[in-house]
């Protein structure tokens, strides 16, 4: 009996261990069922894309480009940026962090640094070196002060998945990819014509990147001519080809099709020209496909993230304007590139294995000189006259120049000078606000103190407040009149909080996404938390957006 009792105890112990192992196994299985992530997430940002481009050119789009996302995915028809300024770096940062400049710290593309006493660029970082060319790569995301959805996904998987950013522009590749990215690649024009990176990510380019750079693709896109994809007489959605509201390339007298690329590249920066024509989007598409293959994205148990930004739409819009034949052709060609890219993802990743969203980093105003020809209120802000005006105010009230910098419709006051003069900072701010509101073209003006002490729940001042960063922004913030810009008399630009700059497309598609649409007002900062919910990872740490529940499958 004494010998049997220890044996029975041993058997009971073994059964308990097996039961515990079964519980662990069941729990593991349950967790895998809960976290059913796609193999690949693709984020697409189309630089300077207005929402109405989806509607205006809809009849000319193919069935499998933009229309595929609209008809088979979820279309958020009333999505807006909810801050000022609507610039490229700010837009890309806000999409991926789920918050506004108030929190993530990217307040413009370039801005005056009141600590360094100089203008800085959003991703410049002399701590690193260029990889792949002689220059153009001393970059990093260190000025972005919060995490991104790509960071959170990476950390959730113990950095097992791959996070990669790709664009023509450095800032558009770097900021979406996040702080923990495996890579960010951007196109170096001039005489290089290559995709490059920074030592922040790696010390040498992968073989697939070297092979792509040596393939001659960039050069091939600058051969021959840029002509319309279809008969130009069918481009009835845009104004006449030769009009007074478009800019021209150096070496060409009129802004008209066709464009002889072999000739134009000689006077327009060689490979820099590729950025400014529709084919710039095509090479980004080609490089993105090469990245999927070269990095084997979507091929293992971990979720990868490919952040792609098509920037040539922005260059074309700035040059030719919202209503030009050139912008229409660029979007029709981009639609073809998207169709090819989606078909590629279907083949190499699997149609049910990836999730994709498409949006923009800002929209654009119609050319003010064109609007004026239609008797619509519009105009041009005279920045030189404004500086003289502000200097005169300073001299009249304070007998000294107390302005340190004027940029991005913000005034930075010289705090040391104000202190030396024994002036009260708040009173100085009030003087400038009271006087600047009288300057031609100014719609609103507000002080930093007001933005810090007063809550604006809606309207243009709400947007201004969301874009104001107490640490980095200026002391006086100016809002110009609607359709009033500081720019040339030809071409379009952006930066305001008006609907023409804030209203952008937002399309979701793929694994975990419902089919449908909504016209409910949504904010661009809602994208990151929606993806976080889909992927079951932490929200980016500065998120102020909310999950768009209608988009996600139950």
Q: Indicate if 233 belongs to the active site.
A: no
When pLDDT is averaged across residues 475-491 and rounded to a whole number, the result is 97
When pLDDT is averaged across residues 59-86 and rounded to a whole number, the result is 98
Read off the pLDDT band of 35 (50, 70, 90): confident
| Ordered alpha helix ranges (H), 35-166 | 52-56, 66-72, 88-97, 101-104, 149-156
Contacts of 204 (CB under 8 A, 6+ apart): 131
CA–CA separation, 470 and 454 (whole Å): 13
pLDDT at 8: 45
Q: Where in the chain are all domains bearing CATH 3.40.720.10?
A: 40-372+507-551
- The whole-model pTM stands at 0.93
pLDDT at 1: 45
pLDDT higher than 90, residue 26: no
Burial of 422 (0-12, 13-18, 19+ CB in 10 A): exposed
pLDDT in tens, 485-510: 999 999 999 999 999 999 999 999 99
Contacts of 311 (CB under 8 A, 6+ apart): 47, 88, 167, 168, 169, 172, 275, 280, 281, 284
Give domain 40-372+507-551's CATH architecture. 3-Layer(aba) Sandwich (3.40)
| Residues forming beta bridges with residue 44, ordered by sequence position | 308, 358
CA–CA separation, 97 and 543 (whole Å): 6
pLDDT in tens, 403-454: 999 999 999 999 999 999 999 999 999 999 999 999 999 999 999 999 999 9
Give domain 382-440+442-480's CATH architecture. 2-Layer Sandwich (3.30)
Would you say how long the chain is, in residues? 554
When pLDDT is averaged across residues 188-214 and rounded to a whole number, the result is 98
CA–CA separation, 281 and 456 (whole Å): 39
pLDDT higher than 80, residue 9: no
pLDDT at 21: 56
pLDDT higher than 60, residue 22: no
pLDDT higher than 50, residue 339: yes
- From the list 88, 150, 313, 502, the catalytic residue is 88
As a whole number, the mean pLDDT across the chain is 95
Query: How many Cβ atoms sit within 10 Å of the Cβ of residue 405?
Result: 18
When pLDDT is averaged across residues 343-357 and rounded to a whole number, the result is 97
When pLDDT is averaged across residues 510-537 and rounded to a whole number, the result is 98
When pLDDT is averaged across residues 384-398 and rounded to a whole number, the result is 98
When pLDDT is averaged across residues 327-338 and rounded to a whole number, the result is 98
How far from chain centre, in Å, is Cα 367? 22
Q: Where in the chain are all domains bearing CATH 3.30.1360.150?
A: 382-440+442-480
pLDDT at 95: 98
pLDDT higher than 70, residue 7: no
In the three-class reduction of DSSP (H, G, I as helix; E, B as strand; rest coil), residue 289 is classed as helix
pLDDT at 415: 96
CA atoms within 13 A on the CB side of 21: 6
Task: Determine contact, residues 470/448, Cβ cutoff 8 Å.
Answer: yes
pLDDT higher than 70, residue 533: yes
pLDDT at 34: 59
pLDDT in tens, 114-166: 999 999 999 999 999 999 999 999 999 999 999 999 999 999 999 999 999 99
pLDDT in tens, 252-266: 999 999 999 999 999
DSSP-derived secondary structure letter, 139: B
pLDDT at 18: 55
pLDDT in tens, 172-195: 999 999 999 999 999 999 999 999
């Amino acid at each position: 009996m004494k010998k049997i009792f220890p044996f029975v105890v041993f058997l009971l112990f073994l059964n308990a261990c097996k039961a515990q192992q079964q519980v662990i196994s069941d729990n593991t299985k349950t967790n895998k069922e809960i976290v059913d992530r796609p193999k690949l997430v693709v984020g697409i940002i189309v630089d300077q894309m207005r929402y109405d481009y989806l509607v205006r050119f809809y009849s000319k789009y193919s069935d499998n480009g933009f229309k595929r996302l609209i008809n088979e995915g979820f279309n958020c028809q009333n999505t807006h940026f909810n801050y000022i300024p609507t610039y490229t770096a700010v837009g890309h940062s806000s999409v991926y962090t789920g918050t506004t400049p108030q929190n993530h710290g990217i307040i413009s593309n370039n801005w005056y640094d009141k600590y360094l006493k100089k203008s800085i660029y959003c991703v410049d970082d002399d701590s690193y070196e260029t990889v792949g060319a002689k220059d153009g790569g001393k970059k990093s995301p260190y000025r972005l002060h919060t995490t991104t959805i790509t960071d959170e996904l990476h950390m959730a998987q113990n950095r097992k998945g791959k996070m990669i950013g790709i664009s023509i522009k450095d800032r558009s590749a770097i900021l979406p990819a996040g702080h923990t990215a495996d890579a960010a690649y951007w196109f170096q024009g001039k005489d290089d014509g290559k995709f490059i990176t920074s030592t922040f990510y790696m010390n040498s380019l992968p073989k697939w990147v070297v092979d792509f750079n040596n393939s001659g693709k960039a050069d091939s896109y600058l051969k021959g001519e840029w002509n319309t994809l279809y008969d130009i007489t069918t481009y009835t959605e845009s104004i006449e080809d030769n009009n007074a509201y478009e800019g021209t390339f150096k070496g060409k007298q009129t802004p008209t099709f066709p464009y002889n690329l072999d000739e134009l590249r000689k006077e327009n920066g060689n490979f820099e020209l590729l950025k400014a024509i529709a084919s710039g989007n095509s090479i980004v598409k080609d490089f993105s496909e090469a990245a999927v293959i070269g990095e084997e994205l979507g091929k293992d148990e971990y979720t990868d993230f490919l952040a792609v930004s098509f920037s040539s739409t922005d260059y074309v819009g700035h040059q030719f304007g919202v209503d030009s034949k050139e912008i229409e052709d660029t979007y029709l060609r981009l639609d073809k590139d998207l169709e090819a890219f989606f078909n590629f993802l279907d083949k190499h990743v699997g149609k049910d294995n990836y999730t994709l969203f498409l949006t923009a980093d800002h929209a654009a105003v119609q050319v003010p000189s064109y609007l004026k020809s239609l008797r619509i209120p519009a105009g041009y802000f005279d920045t030189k006259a404004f500086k003289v005006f502000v200097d005169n105010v300073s001299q009249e009230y304070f007998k000294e120049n107390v302005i340190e910098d004027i940029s991005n419709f913000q005034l930075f006051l010289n705090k040391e000078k104000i202190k030396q003069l024994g002036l009260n900072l708040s009173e100085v701010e009030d003087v400038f606000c009271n006087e600047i509101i009288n300057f031609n073209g100014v719609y609103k003006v507000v002080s930093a103190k007001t933005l810090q002490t007063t809550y604006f729940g809606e309207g243009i001042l709400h947007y201004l407040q969301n874009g104001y960063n107490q640490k980095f922004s200026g002391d006086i913030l100016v809002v110009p009149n609607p359709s009033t810009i500081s720019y040339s008399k030809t071409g379009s630009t952006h930066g305001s909080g008006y609907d023409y700059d804030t209203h952008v497309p937002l399309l979701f598609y793929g694994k975990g996404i419902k089919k449908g649409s909504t016209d409910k007002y949504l904010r661009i900062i809602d994208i990151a938390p929606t993806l976080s919910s889909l992927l079951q990872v932490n929200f980016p740490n500065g998120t102020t957006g909310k999950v768009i529940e209608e988009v996600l499958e139950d």
